[in-house]
Structure 1
């Protein structure tokens, strides 16, 4: 039987001056051209989200400047510093930051994330990534990036160490009893004493537990090692499916991996689908806004350019007319795509290699599977959300936002319709934590 107590979850991913799918957001005269490094812009997006009772703000990140990419990948703020700023201006909404396990040591990572959790009153989340790109590796003194399997093995160990550090102190480790003079209960302290393949960490961490115990773990891997990492560690899986069938298939992959690899004390992960949502009071208004969105961002041209860059082929002055589009996809193209973009692209190109696609055919297929854009009236969007939610294709959605007007209209028009259907909360709970908002129990294993 369906659990009627379940409610839909919503997150927002601000993409500032333009990221993948909204690359030319900075050309919108209603938005600041420097939105990606404009703290006030992020603060306003967070305020709109909090007014809409959203679960969290989600900040993506990379550790190199992709000068050939979208503006948001050239210049943007470090997530945890920005989220600490947003914590001061918000009260209830969760704050999720992307931090790489490949280029961060677990001790510093654990301390920074737990500090954000304390600053925000238990609203922090960590999006675990392994990072791709040779330039990222060279920024950290490596001649080339580590092998895919190595990065994920390091990530699994990193999460293990970070969580052990977060659990260095029991919840009651600090009595701070002035009458007895006891600040710390030494029996409630746990050494980590981790000696693994990648890390040696003694512990304990030099900061105690937060209101929610420890930050929520997010993960978004699609490759076999990525699926296993999510199955082993994640509280929330962030995916980019193009339809319910693809979403259910990905959920099944993670669920199958979880049977073998997920610790028994962890509840099943939530699945959140990344989308762009465009609404209007009428179908005509919604469709007009969609056409305007496509014209502004010229998504076909941007996708062609991105794929050709990823496989290190010359896109020329006009990617749409590049002669490379009539070339067959090769094994070397697949290898380069995996190195520069990761499995989301290499998996599709591998399929195209096997069936003998040329690049124009491969990119046409990718465009159909690339980014889910939902367009319609509030009732139509709510219908789609409910279909995904009831079918198990998604427990919620993460909205990519670079246009505050479109986002505000979603909050003012679609959220009330979701509430009317009993799909979404009507208020925040008292002393909201991110775990509380998402309905995720404590991550600590039972003694």
Structure 2
């Protein structure tokens, strides 16, 4: 029997009031919506109407951005997504949390709790946090070095997975007549002692509906690729050109294979910013209107921030000043991140790679990237075309969509783009399962303690 055709995964990334920095200026919804659950519940319901895999919330432990000119700050994702999960039935909920400024036990418990509350739809987007702004909120004078952040992240993830596995699936007996709640031999202390943490365990939450909540990782530095390929179920990435996307896709599958993983157990999902109109002219007019609120210097300022130089050093009608762009090596990248108050290796590389490949001026580059990701402006058919091209060319298993404005950008994508993908046979027409792992085509993992016991039993035989 022929296997069913491969289908893409799609997430909806809720970036404030929209993926465009000027979305709040058009006031589709008031800016105070960002501290109300109804706003997020509405977008989640729209996304669920389109049978999307999940909604995604970015986050950071600091107030970044110019509070005088932009709505910044937001609700804590794991708390917010609990309310969103209760207002939906199928769609996954992905919360971002930093390994740099959390502790494994508390975070493992929070994410597992969301998985129970949602009936198996939770995911944790694993990030590390650069920049002195966040560090100073946690009693530090400066951000940890890159290698220290990722060393901590790897140990953090190892602990969280062990904690999620510390209850075996059949540990709960619930024999009320004989007074036996659980088989204590199937609830395991993890007894972890490492460089960064000492955690005894077990977790005080039983195994969650998915076995383990889904792990998503966002980071394209060497440390990020190592951690992601080893632990993640999905990678949220930043490539802006098809060749770069194909190279990253192949590299991450090879890295997963080197860890002894099935490469198909790792989903690669680039971000895509969208501006969609019923005609190409309408889409560009919509984009131009949003751009006009930021102005050319505002758009160029986003580029300058991502490459670590002052906007005054950019000539809008010239290429990037290559002699001034900081070296992408990790140690220097960390130095720039401190100077900028934050920074992303993935955004840095995605931006300079696009500029190099196509010899773009600063002005042209500012029209090709939004929120650090590839920008697609066009009709629903054109958006569907670019998704299909990357999906079928070995550059992506799916996408994290960042519409220009909410809620209209999400509605246009769901009502106009999704039906095209369905007609082409590359996206689902209905949900066939209830967990995020099922949506992503990922199997439910067994507890590692169960697996160890199985091996011991085989050896005894």
Q: Is 1:373–2:372 an aligned residue pair?
A: no
Moved over 6 A (4+): 69-73, 318-321, 348-352, 360-364
Equivalent residue, structure 1, for 2:300: 304
In structure 2, relative to structure 1, the CA distance for the partners of 1:429 and 1:84 (3 Å cut) is same
Q: Is 1:437–2:439 an aligned residue pair?
A: yes
- What whole-Å deviation, never above 9, does each CA across 1:222-265 have from its counterpart, x for those lacking one? 111111111101100111221221111111222232233x2447
Which structure has more relative contact order (CA 8 Å, sep 6+)? It is: 2
Determine the C-alpha separation between the residues in 2 that align with 1:330 and 1:276.
25
Equivalent residue, structure 1, for 2:397: 395
In structure 2, relative to structure 1, the CA distance for the partners of 1:72 and 1:397 (3 Å cut) is farther
1:272 to 269, 272, 282: 269
| Offset at residue 273 of structure 1 (A) | 1.5
Equivalent residue, structure 2, for 1:419: 422
In structure 2, relative to structure 1, the CA distance for the partners of 1:136 and 1:45 (3 Å cut) is same
Q: Is 1:11–2:11 an aligned residue pair?
A: yes
Equivalent residue, structure 2, for 1:210: 208
Gaps of at least 5 residues in structure 2 are 453-461
How many residues end up aligned between the 2 structures?
Answer: 437
| Range moving further from structure 2, 250-259 or 96-105 | 250-259
Judge conservation of contact 2:239–2:373 (CA < 8 Å) in 1.
yes
- What whole-Å deviation, never above 9, does each CA across 1:197-244 have from its counterpart, x for those lacking one? 111000000000111111001012111111111110110011122122
In structure 2, relative to structure 1, the CA distance for the partners of 1:145 and 1:192 (3 Å cut) is same
Judge conservation of contact 2:147–2:223 (CA < 8 Å) in 1.
yes
| Range moving further from structure 2, 414-423 or 341-350 | 341-350
Equivalent residue, structure 1, for 2:455: none
- What whole-Å deviation, never above 9, does each CA across 1:146-201 have from its counterpart, x for those lacking one? 11011001000000000000001001111112232211111211110001111100
Q: Give SS of 2:175's match.
A: coil
Determine the C-alpha separation between the residues in 2 that align with 1:81 and 1:240.
27
Determine the C-alpha separation between the residues in 2 that align with 1:123 and 1:423.
22
TM-score (norm 2): 0.85
Determine the C-alpha separation between the residues in 2 that align with 1:12 and 1:411.
10
In structure 2, relative to structure 1, the CA distance for the partners of 1:280 and 1:308 (3 Å cut) is closer
Judge conservation of contact 1:279–1:378 (CA < 8 Å) in 2.
yes
Q: Give SS of 2:220's match.
A: coil
Judge conservation of contact 1:53–1:428 (CA < 8 Å) in 2.
yes
Gaps of at least 5 residues in structure 1 are none
Please report the RMSD computed on the Cα atoms of aligned residues, expressed in angstroms: 3.3
Determine the C-alpha separation between the residues in 2 that align with 1:414 and 1:383.
10
Q: Is 1:254–2:248 an aligned residue pair?
A: no
TM-score (norm 1): 0.88
1:281 to 274, 278, 282: 278
Determine the C-alpha separation between the residues in 2 that align with 1:284 and 1:310.
29
| Offset at residue 290 of structure 1 (A) | 3.2
In structure 2, relative to structure 1, the CA distance for the partners of 1:38 and 1:189 (3 Å cut) is same
Equivalent residue, structure 1, for 2:86: 88
Equivalent residue runs for 1:311-326 within 5 Å: 315=311
